[in-house]
A and B are shown apart, each in its own frame.
Chain A
Amino acid sequence: MNIVEKILRRASGKERIKPGEIIEVTPDLVMSHDGDNIYNIESFKDLFKGEKVWDPQKIVMGLDHNVPSNSTSTARVHSVMRKFAKEQGIIFYDQEGVLHQLMIENHVKPYQLIYAADSHACSYGALGALGIPIGTTDNAYLWATGSTWLQVPGLYRIALTGRLQPGVYAKDVALKVIGEVKCNGLVGKVAQFYGEAVYEMTLSERITLCNMAAEGGALSAIIDPEKPEIEDADLIIDLSELEPLVAVPHQVDNVHSLKAVEGTVIDQVFIGSCTNGRFEDFAVAAEILRGRRISPDVRLYISPASRKQLNLLAENKILNCFLDAGAILLNPGCSLCFGSCQGIMDDGEKLLTTGNRNYKGRVGTPNSYIFIGSPATAAASAITGKITDPRKFFMESKIE
């Protein structure tokens, strides 16, 4: 039995689970945020005629997509959410960070089934939990009933071998995967990552890896805590062969070697998001930024993914490094990755982001451009004002 079957067996109470079979499941947790929560609440109350949610201590809600509230519409959403959470006794995070990060820090456990009203629920696979994305109506139905139907997904097995070379990171691996499978290569499947190279990764690296599976259309992603050896791989990637990569506008699977776009002038750099907003990510970027200033023609925005990550940056004097370099510190939240209310671009402007999407017009006008890269690539590029291979800074350090 593979890990997905184990998890679904537990969630459904069924002895045997077959791929393709329709089963009824009871999740361990249901998460939603201010991206669509006003509709979830309306749907629950007005359409499903719900009064009390199924189990308030299994429901997590929070504000992360538009924080602080940037308009009267958003303010209305936030006040409705606060009131509902309080009435129901739901676990509520009021601008404490990106909900996926908070879920991983405070709630997710291995072998859990978690539904989230957000496509990056696959991030929970880093802890061996199955995170599945849903929309408003499914969310309201879960609040009302505590269970839902699921067609048992198949696996897409991705084996990682070898060892990452200096200057190459989990984000580059994730980009390589999406470049190979394309943006619909994982549709309806759970991407399972396995192999020694995976099992040696830190939690933060695993989150980056699992998180990006959404960009291949994956239903979810997972790393089995029992570290199995599996024989049949759908995709094998040798990490030793990888170089820094960049997803070029306007699709995430438009992945190229950084060399192909090296020298592209950029206007903004963002380090943050559920993909790359953790202490480790900032520590890597700080090594490159230390003692240097960013280009006067670039705005570097940083948004640690949670209050805990921000505290770690401050305690370890990493935050100073960014501020001294000229970075602009933003509050923990989805920020420039989501593109609703911070760092919006004008025509012709270019953003290098550590987030997960580069759709046309996502962070500005339809005539702005988003490139996706690792935190190291982001830091190097912020210094030069052009897309830059982070390894150039490693060579310089060695010479000094």
Chain B
Amino acid sequence: MKPIKGNAWVFGDHVNTDQIIPTKYMLLTSKAEMARHTFETLEPDFYQRVKPGDIIVAGVNFGCGSAREQAVEVLKELKIGAVVASSFNMTFFRNSINLGIPAIVCDGICGCIKNGDVLSIDIEAGVIEVAGSASSYKIEPFSDIVKDIIKCSGLVNYYFKKRKGKSV
């Protein structure tokens, strides 16, 4: 797997799925329209400033609250490269992996970087590096099946590969 490189957006602890995508936008039939409201109660101009490949970095319990996969869909729509957190809500974690956005557990990075820092995430090596800094941060290893789904960029590709009997 190639390293994932991008600019960081740093959030705090316990960011809930209502904050990622508020309820009132959940049933918009256009994902593009929904994505305009991503994080709007936390960073009002997030949509205007976010760039493809950006990386979300957060503290503990990222994605807590409801099971709404729209919270990941909007990140996918915005072409977020990865989500890094000290810990995740398990349903959010699974949704993120399923949609092909690596959800990476990395304790300690959140307090040490700022918005705009350039990160390089090497899943195989198990480490995140910060451009312009000597620091590197260890990633918690994935279980085999999660790694396989990530390698397939999500559950749908994983499903088809398995059906064809192909190795991942």
Contacts and interface: CB of A to CB of B under 8 A. Distances in A.
Interface stretch (B1-9, B17-25, B45-53, B119-127): B17-25
A15 to B, nearest CB: 21
Interface string B56-97: 000011001111111011000000000000011111001100
A174 interface: no
B23 A340 contact: yes
A339 B159 contact: no
B156 A48 contact: yes
Contacts of A118: 66-67
A219 B99 contact: no
A71 B24 CA distance: 11
Contacts, number: 113
B90 A188 contact: yes
A145 B89 CA distance: 25
Contacts of B19: 359-360
Contact of B14 (A149, A183, A340): A183
Contacts of A36: 26, 68-70
B64 A135 contact: no
Interface in A352-366: 357, 359-362, 366
Nearest to A135: B69
B23 A339 contact: yes
A135 B91 contact: yes
B134 interface: no
B89 A217 contact: yes
A35 B18 CA distance: 13
Given A39-B73, A119-B91, 6 more contacts: A135-B69, A135-B72, A137-B155, A141-B155, A187-B90, A188-B90
Interface of B: 14, 16, 18-19, 22-24, 26-29, 41, 60-61, 64-70, 72-73, 87-91, 94-95, 98-99, 143-145, 154-156, 159
5 contacts: A135-B91, A136-B73, A184-B89, A187-B61, A359-B16
